[in-house]
Amino acid sequence: MAVQTEAAASLPPAAAPYVSKAWDAYFRFNGWLSKQCLRVAVVGLCTILVAVLMQIFGRYVLNDSPTWTEIFALVLILYVTCLAAAVGVRDQRHIGMESIVIFLGEKGRKRVEIFVFLSMITFGMAMSYGGAILAMGVWDYMNPGLPISQGWSYVPLFGGGLLISYFAAEQIIARLLNVRVVPSWH
């Protein structure tokens, strides 16, 4: 029995597509995963704020700034950025050429959108590959001021690239099934 997906909830009832339970579970899982990425990014952003405030307090009030806070904030911002970028792909908050696409018919628009998401998959996989190479190349070196490997600075490129590719593939599947993906922000 086919079920109406959460992704189709915003469409008018007559236009709401029906997909199998497996696809519905797939889209729901991706929604859950995207929300978890957002939650981790928000916690990371708050942690960066605390680290920067500690740096400012140490430098200007105590006249003895902690050395680890700057490097910690720099590493953490890479995780926040890569997670947020992946969610941006899923929620279609990326830069687009919509002014050109709206002049195309439905079939042309669908082809262009699929091409864009295929390009994102290619970019995400290249980003992931490059991040893995960089992380492995510097894994034996320690960060100055922070007792972790420098490889941890490149791990978010690997994971973020995989997530970008995964969420772009979800968008292609949604286009082929004529289903709209519900954004994580709703």
Which two tokens mark 165? 């590719």
Residues 6+ apart with CB under 8 A from 119: none
Domain that holds residue 24: 20-177
- Other CB atoms within a 10 A radius of the CB of residue 112 amount to 16
In a domain? residue 185: no
Confidence of residue 4 (pLDDT cuts 50, 70, 90): very low
**pLDDT average, residue stretch 72-81:** 95
Domain annotation covers residue 160 = yes
Residue 73 included in any domain: yes
Q: How many domains does the chain have?
A: 1
Residue 11, pLDDT score: 41
Domain-embedded: residue 86 = yes
The reported pLDDT for the residue numbered 182 is 85
Helices H / strands E in the chain, number of each: 5, 2
Element (H, E) at 111: helix 106-138
Residue 9 binned pLDDT confidence (cut-offs 50, 70, 90): very low
**pLDDT for 109-161, tens place per residue?**
889 889 989 999 999 999 999 999 999 999 999 988 888 999 999 999 999 99
Residue 7 domain-assigned (yes or no): no
Which amino acid, 96? G
- Predicted confidence (pLDDT) at residue 2 exceeds the cutoff of 70: no
Residue 101 lies in a domain: yes
Q: pLDDT grade, residue 97 (50/70/90)?
A: low
Domain for residue 4, yes or no? Answer: no
Q: Supply angle C-alpha 136, 141, 146, rounded to 5.
A: 120
Q: What is the pLDDT of residues 10-69, one digit of tens each?
A: 443 334 466 788 888 999 999 999 999 999 999 999 999 999 999 999 989 988 888 889
Q: In 10 A of CB 122, how many CB atoms?
A: 12
Label residue 99 by pLDDT band (50, 70, 90).
low
Confidence (pLDDT) at 96: 64
DSSP 183: P
d(C-alpha 156, C-alpha 162), whole Å: 10
d(CA 118, CA 115): 5
* Better-scored residue on pLDDT, 108 or 165: 165
Q: How many residues does this entry show for the chain?
A: 186
- Residue 69 placed within a domain: yes
Q: 9 φ, ψ to 5°?
A: -60, -30
More confident residue, 4 or 179: 179
Query: What are the phi and psi torsion angles at 149 (to 5°)?
Result: -65, 145
